[in-house]
Amino acid sequence: MQYIYAALLLHKAGKEINEENLKKVIEAAGISPDDARVKTVVASLKGVDIEKALQEAVMPIAAPTAGVAQAQAQKAEEKKEEKPEEAAEGLAALFG
């Protein structure tokens, strides 16, 4: 995971994601870089639009969360509108 984080840091800084830069970031974090992993990450990210990938990864998560928040707000509003008599009837059913 550190290698991906390092690549994202390079991307955010506007630096080229290459083996040398990736190794520098990993070493700066106090980790001894594994050459095979560095090469794999760099090769895997060739031709990938990281900005687009990040947007696609974030958007599906945000949309359902907004829907859930809206549904919870509606339920809270419905509870506020509940009449005291209805609440008492519900309690009476619980305690007989």
Q: How many domains does the chain have?
A: 2
Asked whether residue 40 is assigned to any structural domain, the reply reads yes
Amino acid letter, 25: V
Residue 57's pLDDT is what?
82
- Alpha-carbon distance values, 33 to 36, 38, 42 (Å): 9, 7, 13
The pLDDT of residue 12 is above 90? yes
65-87 pLDDT, tens digit each: 566 667 777 766 666 555 556 65
Lowest-pLDDT choice from 18-22, 30-34, 36-40, 67-71? 67-71
Same domain for 7 and 34: yes
Kindly state the average pLDDT of the residues 46-58.
87
Same domain for 40 and 15: yes
Confidence of residue 35 (pLDDT cuts 50, 70, 90): very high
* pTM more than 0.75: no
Question: Domain range spanning residue 25?
Answer: 2-45
Asked whether residue 51 is assigned to any structural domain, the reply reads no
Same domain for 6 and 36: yes
Same domain for 69 and 37: no
